[in-house]
Structure 1
Amino acid sequence: MAVSAVILDMDGLMVDTEPLYKTAWQQATRELGFDLHDQRYATIVGRPLPDCERILMEEFGPAFPLDALRARWPGLWRDEVERLGIQVKPGLEALLAFIASEPLRVAVATSTNADWAAFTLDRAGLAGRVDVIVTGDQIARGKPAPDIYLEAARRIGVAPRECVALEDSEAGIRSIAAAGMTGILVPHWSPSPEAQAAAFRIVASLHEAKDVIASLLVVPAAR
């Protein structure tokens, strides 16, 4: 198959920020008297902020103090960043080096907003390492709709069918499939049947993802 670009999710895929978000959201909701347990939290992973808020309102009901949550969790997240830093995921440097060694474009497609994405990539030492960054506040519909991946392909000038995209969330891998791209899932959870069906390949690490991409670049010898 022809591969011209690699598109990467950010949180949980490139950088190990999901535990920081989880701590911030769970602590904030707990302070407000609500229980965002792990199973509930899993329903918002990988989705843009407005969708996360909508899901929580549906889950907790109209009494849920959304404005108070908005005011509280970002500060808790930044506290976690200052305490723990933002670490890149194992295998990311090797993956980016491999992409740079090939005639491939590279983009980031993240559900977070532009300011938070820039902050995260800068803190992780990844600023300037990709050609294009598309964020959740720049598209009409968030993951699992295909909009963000289609926009990333448009900005780098590559047809969706020539893109390989990497995700760690179910919403993300469904977004990739809906965009008509080849999706590699690097989960930190047990993939549902829907996620398994959406993925071209499921791997345990970015090291394995790099090998899958390399195999897709190999042109079969003519017979």
Structure 2
Amino acid sequence: MKLSELDGIVFDMDGVIFDSEVIGLESWERLGKKYGLTNVHENAMKCIGRSTVDTMAILEAAYGDKVSIPELYDEAKAICADIIAERGLPLKSGARELLSYLKERDIKVGLASSTSYKGVIKNLKGAGLLDYFHVIIGGDMIKHSKPQPEIYLLACKKLGVRPEKTVAVEDSYNGIKAAYNAKMIPIMVPDLIAPTDEILSMVYKKMDSLDAVLEYFKA
């Protein structure tokens, strides 16, 4: 598959552009110890690629009888902000180089993230990446989050591209399923979650990094 054959590319953000999922997990594990919550790692992993609403529902089912979930969620966000302020929000290897390559070749590039639009803009601005994206869709701009295809279909519509001629770069089960359901061309770059056989049956390619994606399109 060559870039010239594509209408565009849409990226997920957390775990794809930014190495941020591990920060979220660390915040939840800190809170698990603080409040004596069990199976925190497993439940946090379920939230990867999910919208705020879906995440709150997962946490409510697991811990709603023990703590206030809105307060817990706000505390987790505050911990994440502190970690990022202290360490910065690291980019995934190859992210800037891949985005630069796509921009040089006038490829339409979108971003479809379960994070709120405001949060996405803040992160992209902070990393100096905002200008690489023609369209940005946040999780608060849709009704049905990943694994439903709505966010990707909206991104494609706003980009003016055909889903079946557009690559989606994802790291999670929910993200790949959303791209697959949108009839896009899913490329998986796994982060914290190893792909299952089901996921591998949905992807066009599995690659180890964005560096590998860049080399693939250069070939």
Length-normalised TM-score, structure 1: 0.90
Out of 38, 41, 44, the residue aligned to residue 41 of structure 1 is: 44
Name the % identity: 28
Deviation of 1:212 after TM superposition, in Å, equals 3.4
CA-to-aligned-CA distance 1:125-169 (integer Å, 9 cap, x gap): 212221111000001100110011100000011111111010011
Alpha-carbon distance between aligned partners in 1 of 2:33 and 2:53, rounded to the nearest angstrom: 20
* Unaligned segments of structure 2, at least 5 residues: none
Larger mean Cα displacement after TM superposition, 31-40 or 113-122: 31-40
Q: Which residue of 2 aligns with 1:221?
A: none
Alpha-carbon distance between aligned partners in 1 of 2:57 and 2:40, rounded to the nearest angstrom: 17
Q: Which residue of 1 aligns with 2:200?
A: 196
1:184 aligns with 2:187: yes
Alpha-carbon distance between aligned partners in 2 of 1:155 and 1:38, rounded to the nearest angstrom: 36
Alpha-carbon distance between aligned partners in 2 of 1:208 and 1:98, rounded to the nearest angstrom: 13
Alpha-carbon distance between aligned partners in 1 of 2:9 and 2:116, rounded to the nearest angstrom: 21
CA-to-aligned-CA distance 1:38-73 (integer Å, 9 cap, x gap): 332211111111111111222335444212213311
Alpha-carbon distance between aligned partners in 2 of 1:162 and 1:125, rounded to the nearest angstrom: 28
Tell me the secondary structure at the aligned position of residue 6 of structure 2.
Answer: coil
Alpha-carbon distance between aligned partners in 1 of 2:197 and 2:22, rounded to the nearest angstrom: 24
Contact 1:167 / 1:185 at 8 angstroms: preserved in 2?
yes
Tell me the secondary structure at the aligned position of residue 187 of structure 1.
Answer: coil
Say if 1:50 and 1:29 are closer, same or farther in 2 by CA, change over 3 A: farther
Out of 200, 208, 215, the residue aligned to residue 211 of structure 1 is: 215
Alignment root-mean-square deviation, CA: 1.7
Contact 1:4 / 1:103 at 8 angstroms: preserved in 2?
no
Larger mean Cα displacement after TM superposition, 58-67 or 8-17: 58-67
* Structure 1 moving runs of 4+ over 6 Å: none
Alpha-carbon distance between aligned partners in 2 of 1:208 and 1:17, rounded to the nearest angstrom: 20
Say if 1:106 and 1:195 are closer, same or farther in 2 by CA, change over 3 A: same
* Unaligned segments of structure 1, at least 5 residues: 216-223
Deviation of 1:171 after TM superposition, in Å, equals 0.6
Alpha-carbon distance between aligned partners in 2 of 1:67 and 1:85, rounded to the nearest angstrom: 25
1:99 maps to amino acid: L
Q: Which residue of 2 aligns with 1:73?
A: 76
1:114 maps to amino acid: Y
Deviation of 1:195 after TM superposition, in Å, equals 1.5
Deviation of 1:214 after TM superposition, in Å, equals 4.6
Length-normalised TM-score, structure 2: 0.91
Deviation of 1:99 after TM superposition, in Å, equals 0.7
Alpha-carbon distance between aligned partners in 1 of 2:33 and 2:54, rounded to the nearest angstrom: 20
Say if 1:154 and 1:214 are closer, same or farther in 2 by CA, change over 3 A: farther
Alpha-carbon distance between aligned partners in 2 of 1:85 and 1:58, rounded to the nearest angstrom: 32
The size of the alignment, in residue pairs, is 215
